[in-house]
Amino acid sequence: MNIDDDPDPHLARITVYPVKSLDGLDRDRATLLPTGGLELDREYALVDSDGEYVNGKRERAVHRLDGVFDPDERALRLSAPDRTERTFHLSEREGSTGDRDRDSEELTGWLSEYFGYPVSVRRDATGGFPDDTDAAGPTVISTATIREVASWFPSISVEGMRRRLRANLELGGVPPFWEDRLFADRDHVVSFSVGDATFEGVNPCQRCVVPSRDPDTGEETDGFRERFVEKRRETMPPWSGGDWFDHHFRLMVNTRVDGGEGSEVAVGDPVEIGETRER
């Protein structure tokens, strides 16, 4: 069967990023928070002494930091070149006392020594720390799109491109760039459902420097942006566009959720497109 002729859109993968800018965690299902984000996604963030994010956009050393989060133990295992691997148990509430708080203090010390300046961890369990606060729902892309974009760069695997793009919801059963159907122009949003959860597709995500870097080393891929822009323009399907593409360094869909707190999405859920309406 050619999925271009007979697509079967469904949710193929869910990935949350418990600590903003660190490694992802695959889930079979996820619950929507009051802000529209997914439970555990960007729940924690690294910040400097001014409260600014310490992330891949600003700090290349983030890429060399491996952070594996255990949601059951609320434990973060960190490792980096020339650093002793450590596991820290994160405090779940402000004002608590005990071993988890001591771990948090030691975590601050470990991170500050690694980066060379004061770095601490903040938590927001109600909505996390999304990049786009106006479209704070999960980001959406298709597996076929990730494969297509990876094919533009001989040195980058499909999994490597997945790690560079860092989407939350990955759709199967559709051709490349099918997710571009989930947004319209700047004056409209597109309603769509994943299982029982309903979202509004707002815009194609404007990409930053992060996808151009090796996710393990932070090394820049030569000519990444130029090649990406050239191929994105060349392969743009007829359903893409609107007035969003003032430049072509855009990929993945930013979403928002109006209500729906407590709804779940699960791998295998069907995806259906609803109406296009004014913002």
1-16: per-residue pLDDT in tens? 466 667 899 999 999 9
Average pLDDT score, the chain: 92
Q: What is the pLDDT of residue 91?
A: 67
User: Considering the domain boundaries, does residue 93 fall inside one?
Assistant: yes
Return d(Cα 174, Cα 184) in angstroms, integer: 19
Task: Say yes or no to pLDDT of 198 above 50.
Answer: yes
Confidence of residue 100 (pLDDT cuts 50, 70, 90): low
Asked if 191 and 95 sit in the same domain, the reply is: no
CB 177 within 8 A of CB 235: yes
Asked if 88 and 182 sit in the same domain, the reply is: no
**Which of these three, 106, 123, 140, is where a domain ends?**
123
Task: Say yes or no to pLDDT of 98 above 50.
Answer: no
Q: What is the pLDDT of residue 6?
A: 73
Asked if 269 and 195 sit in the same domain, the reply is: yes
Q: Outline where DSSP puts E strands in the chain.
A: 10-16, 25-27, 29-31, 44-48, 66-70, 75-80, 83-89, 119-123, 140-142, 169-172, 188-194, 197-206, 250-256, 264-266, 271-278
- Number of independent structural domains in the chain: 2
User: Considering the domain boundaries, does residue 1 fall inside one?
Assistant: no
Task: Say yes or no to pLDDT of 86 above 50.
Answer: yes
**Direct distance between the N- and C-terminal alpha carbons of the chain, in angstroms, rounded to an integer:** 37
Three-class secondary structure of residue 115 per DSSP: helix
Number of helices followed by number of strands (H, E) in the chain: 4, 15
Task: Say yes or no to pLDDT of 97 above 50.
Answer: no
Render pLDDT for 48-81 as a digit per residue (tens, 0 to 9).
Answer: 999 999 999 999 999 999 999 999 999 999 999 9
Question: Would the pTM of this model clear 0.85, i.e. be above it?
Answer: yes
Q: What is the pLDDT of residue 96?
A: 41
- DSSP 8-state assignment for residue 162: H
Half-sphere exposure of 245 (CA within 13 A, CB side): 21
**Which of these three, 80, 102, 123, is where a domain ends?**
123
CB 76 within 8 A of CB 67: yes
Structure tokens at 11: 């949710």
Range of the domain at 68: 44-123
Q: What is the pLDDT of residue 168?
A: 98
Q: What is the pLDDT of residue 259?
A: 77
